[in-house]
Amino acid sequence: MMAALKGATSVRQASDAVLTGYERPANQSDAVKAKRAGYGQGYYDKYAKTTAKPEAPTAFAPYLVKVTASALNYRAGAGTNYKVNGTVKIGEVYTIVAEAKGTGASKWGKLKSGAGWISLDHVQKK
């Protein structure tokens, strides 16, 4: 659980990890997740203080990847804690439009189609 929390890149991601990986209530719908993350975001915005100036965001340059695994799940979010939306196959080429940290892989890539996120551990950058 601590690894998931330390690897979270947003309040929503941390909240979802606790909800689905630790508390496991009967209702784990997107509405419940969003409401719960909203509470957490409110506390974060109110109490989290930083002394460092935020870095200027750099523009992400989309890039192509070729799947190297025989079958690779794509998920609703950047992590194995998100539901599987489908599978891509070896040799297929996809455009990655964003990257994120998440459980189950060193890095996740967001598919341009919007279908989901894939582990970048099982692709080759073209």
Q: Do 76 and 117 lie in a common domain? A: yes
Residue 52, in any domain of the structure: no
Q: Do 89 and 35 lie in a common domain? A: no
Q: Do 113 and 71 lie in a common domain? A: yes
pLDDT at 52: 61
pLDDT at 44: 79
Residue 53, in any domain of the structure: no
- Could you give the number of structural domains in the chain? 2
pLDDT at 62: 95
Residue 37, in any domain of the structure: yes
| CATH number, residue 85 | 2.30.30.40
pTM confidence score: 0.56
pLDDT tens string, the chain, 126 residues long: the values are: 778 777 888 888 888 888 888 888 888 888 888 888 888 888 777 777 666 666 777 788 999 999 999 999 999 999 999 999 999 999 999 999 999 999 999 999 999 999 999 999 999 999
Q: Do 41 and 70 lie in a common domain? A: no
Q: Do 16 and 69 lie in a common domain? A: no
pLDDT at 53: 67
Percent of the chain predicted with pLDDT > 70: 95
pLDDT at 23: 83
Q: Do 67 and 118 lie in a common domain? A: yes
- The parent domain of residue 80 ranges over 63-125
Convert 40-79 to b/e letters by CB count within 10 Å (16 or more is b).
Answer: eeeeeeeeeeeeeeeeeeeeeeeeebebeeeebbbbebbb
